[in-house]
Structure formats: structure tokens, C-alpha cells
Amino acid sequence: MKNRKINFIKLGIFLFGISLFFSNCENEVLVEEENSNEKQSIIRRKIAFNNTVHFNKTSPIIKNIKLPKKSNYLSRNIEDENVIVHTDEVQYATYVDTHTYTFKITREFPEYYIENIVLHYNVENDSYDEYLLQYDISAEEFQNIYNGGTRENSKTIITPLNTGTFSNLSSRGTVECDTSCETVDVNCSAGGNHSPGESCSGTPDQQPYQYEFCRTTCRYVEYIDAGDSAGGGGSNTGGGGATDNNPTNNDIITDPLPSNPCENNITGNAGVLNSAGDCINIANTKPCEKITELLNNSYIKDKIQSINNDATFNLDYEKGFNLNDYGNGPIATVNNGNAQETSITVLIDKTNGSSIGFIHTHFNSNKRTSPLFSIEDLRALNAVYQWRKYKQKPLENITVILVSPAGVYAMVIKNYVFFAEEGNNLHTEEFRERRKKYYEEFPKDLNLMPHSDKIEKVVLKQLKKYGVGLFKANDDLSGWNELTLDEQTNNTIPTPCT
């Protein structure tokens, strides 16, 4: 996805009226800007769906919208998911000879704070293409967009919901299409070239604005018949091979249309309502803050230090502490494993929901012990999370800490929705399959400890699927780094929590 911001107003012609005033000994020069008459090329407005021009044609489509069933990984819902499409207020955008309608939706498991259905008028077919747009933003950005603030180029996921558009291009080949979106800034067209968020003296249709610009680029791949001497051909359609952001009829132009944020009583953060009426927090807004707070607590830091040494790593059992919070900060209770066992038993407080996680070691003498978290650690984290959520306790301070010869690591939940859905499968008969997947890319060496760099990357990739972040403490326990994987270079990137 490109991060390009485009100023549409390149041709603004400004007329400068210069008036000179003379008074005694001073010359004063006034430079006056005259407004141009240029209007923005995209007209957008919010209206009730019932009042839209194309209501008769679009309302049957909206009645039948379904989201596609989820991938195998999210195997809980086999059926296509029904969604509630809201029609009280839609965003209507017209440009060139086409237009889009953007709708708010409510569903059982929202995946992002802003999710919209977009209908795009297909000029060639005289029909509508349907898309799901999802904006990968934080709770704060959600609130900001809702309040009408400007936004950074957000990561936008676009999913076509019907396949009609490109399937009839040819019977002799297949068409591979890829749609990507970017946020475009349009500056004030009344002079001064003010960008979104700045003040512009123009009329309402000259004001600066932002929109989401999505373009589909398709490649036509011909079948190669046996005996055919010709190779496979490729050509661009859809996007027409255009390289700039001047909208065409094939492009999809929309605005993120947020639902009303609700307030999650437990976390106090902005959330979205799901179809069951619960206020869902998609993301943990303070993973760095909370884990830093824990390490700054000298009582907890001492506990970590007490087991972060070779003497502990040379034992034949795990040492550790259960972590509970009864409302006055974390309390650590000794929790050691049994000799020659590679596990500890984590007690979960089912009465108060006070369990917030645990601290434990992985040791050297069992050579198959991982220098990073095991999938059982992840399952235990999920159990802690489920109970805490069930007991309506804050979720941001949940963590599992690992003290291993490779370093001190912490798992922190970043996306509650993913973790609830994905993590739930760790407690079902599917666990065996997931366990296999988790260890699939582990080195085949009998001794895992020397491979911590490689295993770190494998675990990072796995945890991401569950919406869980991986943090590593500095050697002197002075602070944490969030680790992420650059998928292009396969390098681990540490970002200090500040």
C-alpha cells in the first residue's frame, strides 16, 4: 500500500490584486488573494438511504448482503454471516460518471473499529459491485475520525463481496485482480492550498477533505493449451493501467463512516457495539504502558530477577509466580513446577477473576524446552483472559512472562477480538492441530536453546494470528521492546516502549 498524499490542486490560478497606500513616510503593501472558482471534483454528502436517487436499485442489494464465511482458521462460523446494514445515514459520493454508497454495519464479531459496506456503481454493467471495507485503526483514531478529525493513511482492507465484475472477461483464461486503497488529501481549492484540518476561506464545496481511494488492477492470464506455441499473456484491465490518482469510473471512492463509539464500562475505552449489544474493545490501547508499569514495580521486578539466573536455568523444573490483582496492583505468589516436568500449574481465580497471568522459567536441562513461549503458555494466557473477561475485570494488564536463557519475554494481548475467537480454539479438540502448526517451523535440532533468534521469528508469526504481541525486556530489565517481524526481510524489529 502506497503512502502517497496527492494535492489535487495543481492548476489553481491566483489573481493578486495589489493596492498601494501612501501615507506620510510609510509604504504599506497589501497582497490580496482572490478566490478561484474551482470546485472539488468529487461531491460527497451524508443522507438517509430512503432519500437517495438510486434507492430502488440499491435497496434489494442491501437487504441481501452477507459477509463471506471466514477462512478455515476462523472455523467457528460455517455459514455466511448476516450483518445489519444501517440505512439512517449513508455516505454518497459522485465522481466522473459513477458513484458509491457507503453504509455502517453491525455484526456479531466486529474485526475493526470501522467496517463499512460500499456499493460501487459499475458503469459498464449498469449494476453495483459490493465491497467490505475495514480500517485497521486504534480506539483513539476511531474516536478522532468519529469527531471529524483528519487521519493518517490508514491500513485499509478491501474485500469484494460479489464476484460478478471481472468473472466474465474471458473464457480462455483467468483474471487475477488485486485491489488496494490509500488515503488521499484534497486541499482547499479557494486559494492558499490549505490541507485537511487547516482553515480554508472558500465556499463549502471548496473545503479541503480526505477520502479513501481504492483501485483494482487486474491481470489477465491466458490458459496455455497443450501444443500451443504461444505463452501466457498478461494485460491490465480494471485500473486501466493508470498511475495517478485522478479518479476513473472503475475506482472506488469512499469515506470511512464510523458507527457511534460506545463506552466500554470495564476499560473506559471507546468501543463498537456488536449485534448482541455488547460494547467491544477491538484493541488494547496500552500494551506498552501496562507492561512497562509492571516492570517499574520493584516488587515484581525483584521476583523476575530472583529467577533470572543460571542456577535457575540449570534446575530440572520450572520456577515461577502466579500474578493476581485484587484491585490494588499485582501480587506474586510462588508457583514452582515438579522435578523433571516441563510445566507449572497455573491456578485461575474463578471467584474474583483476580488472576492476571503468571511469571515462569523455561530451563536448560530439558533440551527440547523452547527459549520462547510454548503454545501451552498461550493457552494459559487465553484461560486467564476468558475468566477475567467473564468477571468483567480490566483486560489491559493481563500478561504471561517468560524468563529463559534467551531473555525475559512477555505476551500481551493486542487485539481482543482475535484473541477471543482464535484463542477459544485452544480449548477444543482443535488444539492438537494448532499445536502442530505452532511448532511446524521450529528448528529440528534436539537442543532448541541455541536457536532462539529463529524461534523468536516463528513465535512472532504465530502470536500475530492470535492478536497477541511479543515484548522483550532489556538485559538490565530497565524497560521493554515490542518485537515485530518485517515480513519482507524476515528481520525482527524491536521498538522500545517509551
Q: Considering the complex, what minimum distance in angstroms separates the CB of residue 462 from Zn ion?
A: 14
User: Cα–Cα distance between 272 and 220 in angstroms, integer?
Assistant: 40
Classify residue 277 by its DSSP letter: S
Task: Determine the residue type at 246.
Answer: N
Q: Which is nearer to Zn ion, 142 or 409 (CB)?
A: 409
Q: Does 455 bind Zn ion (CB under 5 A)?
A: no
Q: Considering the complex, what minimum distance in angstroms separates the CB of residue 370 from Zn ion?
A: 8
Q: Is 493 left (phi over 0), alpha (psi -120 to 50) or beta?
A: beta
Q: Which is nearer to Zn ion, 184 or 401 (CB)?
A: 401
Helix (H, G, I), strand (E, B) or coil at 139: helix
Q: Considering the complex, what minimum distance in angstroms separates the CB of residue 377 from Zn ion?
A: 4
Which of the stretches 22-30, 116-124, 232-240, 377-385 binds Zn ion when contact is defined by CB under 5 A? 377-385
Q: Considering the complex, what minimum distance in angstroms separates the CB of residue 479 from Zn ion?
A: 23
Q: Phi and psi at residue 48, in whole multiples of 5°?
A: -75, 140
Q: Which is nearer to Zn ion, 189 or 361 (CB)?
A: 361
Per-residue x/- mask for Zn ion, residues 89 to 128, rule CB under 5 A?
A: ----------------------------------------
Which of the stretches 229-237, 293-301, 366-374, 437-445 binds Zn ion when contact is defined by CB under 5 A? 366-374
Task: Determine the residue type at 110.
Answer: P
Q: Is the dihedral of CA 206, 210, 256, 267 positive or negative?
A: negative
Q: Does 377 bind Zn ion (CB under 5 A)?
A: yes
Q: Considering the complex, what minimum distance in angstroms separates the CB of residue 379 from Zn ion?
A: 10
Which of the stretches 22-30, 142-150, 284-292, 369-377 binds Zn ion when contact is defined by CB under 5 A? 369-377
Size of the site for Zn ion (CB under 5 A): 2
Q: What is the distance, to the nearest Å, from the Cα of residue 126 to the centroid of all Cα atoms in its chain?
A: 34
Per-residue x/- mask for Zn ion, residues 324 to 363, rule CB under 5 A?
A: ----------------------------------------
8 Å CB contact between 101 and 86: no
Helix (H, G, I), strand (E, B) or coil at 4: coil
For residue 132, what are the β-bridge partners? 117, 159
| DSSP conformation letters of 27-81 | EEEEEEE-------SSEEEEE-GGG-TTHHHHHHHHHT-EEPPPPTTSTT--SPE
Which of the stretches 75-83, 251-259, 376-384, 482-490 binds Zn ion when contact is defined by CB under 5 A? 376-384
Q: Does 406 bind Zn ion (CB under 5 A)?
A: no
CA nearest 61: which of 69, 52, 73?
52
Q: Considering the complex, what minimum distance in angstroms separates the CB of residue 447 from Zn ion?
A: 17
CA nearest 329: which of 381, 301, 294?
294
User: Cα–Cα distance between 21 and 313 in angstroms, integer?
Assistant: 85
Task: Match 479557494 to its residue by C-alpha cell.
Answer: 190
Q: Which is nearer to Zn ion, 379 or 454 (CB)?
A: 379
Q: Which is nearer to Zn ion, 374 or 382 (CB)?
A: 374
Which of the stretches 3-11, 372-380, 419-427, 473-481 binds Zn ion when contact is defined by CB under 5 A? 372-380
Per-residue x/- mask for Zn ion, residues 233 to 272, rule CB under 5 A?
A: ----------------------------------------
Q: Considering the complex, what minimum distance in angstroms separates the CB of residue 343 from Zn ion?
A: 7
Q: Which is nearer to Zn ion, 377 or 482 (CB)?
A: 377
Helix (H, G, I), strand (E, B) or coil at 467: coil
CA distances from 105 to 70, 88, 102, 117 (A): 17, 11, 10, 7
User: Cα–Cα distance between 434 and 411 in angstroms, integer?
Assistant: 18
| DSSP conformation letters of 421-486 | HHHHGGGSTTHHHHHHHHHTTS---S--GGGHHHHHHHHHHHHHHTTEEEEEE-TTSS-EEEEEEE
Q: Which is nearer to Zn ion, 294 or 375 (CB)?
A: 375
User: Cα–Cα distance between 89 and 422 in angstroms, integer?
Assistant: 33
Q: Considering the complex, what minimum distance in angstroms separates the CB of residue 374 from Zn ion?
A: 5
Q: Does 185 bind Zn ion (CB under 5 A)?
A: no
Q: Which is nearer to Zn ion, 212 or 377 (CB)?
A: 377
Q: Considering the complex, what minimum distance in angstroms separates the CB of residue 319 from Zn ion?
A: 11
Which of the stretches 132-140, 272-280, 330-338, 373-381 binds Zn ion when contact is defined by CB under 5 A? 373-381
Q: Which is nearer to Zn ion, 111 or 377 (CB)?
A: 377
CA nearest 135: which of 178, 105, 176, 90?
105
| Cβ-proximal residues to 72 (8 Å cutoff; 6+ apart), any chain | none
CB-based closest residue to Zn ion: 377
Q: Which is nearer to Zn ion, 248 or 342 (CB)?
A: 342
Q: Considering the complex, what minimum distance in angstroms separates the CB of residue 360 from Zn ion?
A: 5
Q: Is 467 left (phi over 0), alpha (psi -120 to 50) or beta?
A: left
User: Cα–Cα distance between 267 and 395 in angstroms, integer?
Assistant: 7
Q: Which is nearer to Zn ion, 129 or 377 (CB)?
A: 377
Q: Which is nearer to Zn ion, 379 or 391 (CB)?
A: 379
Q: Considering the complex, what minimum distance in angstroms separates the CB of residue 378 from Zn ion?
A: 9
Tell me the three cell numbers of residue 61.
Answer: 442489494
User: Cα–Cα distance between 241 and 179 in angstroms, integer?
Assistant: 13
β-pairing, 399-404 vs 355-361, is parallel
Q: Considering the complex, what minimum distance in angstroms separates the CB of residue 189 from Zn ion?
A: 60
Q: Which is nearer to Zn ion, 364 or 374 (CB)?
A: 374
Q: Considering the complex, what minimum distance in angstroms separates the CB of residue 278 from Zn ion?
A: 32
Question: Which residues make up the interface to Zn ion (CB under 5 A)?
Answer: 374, 377
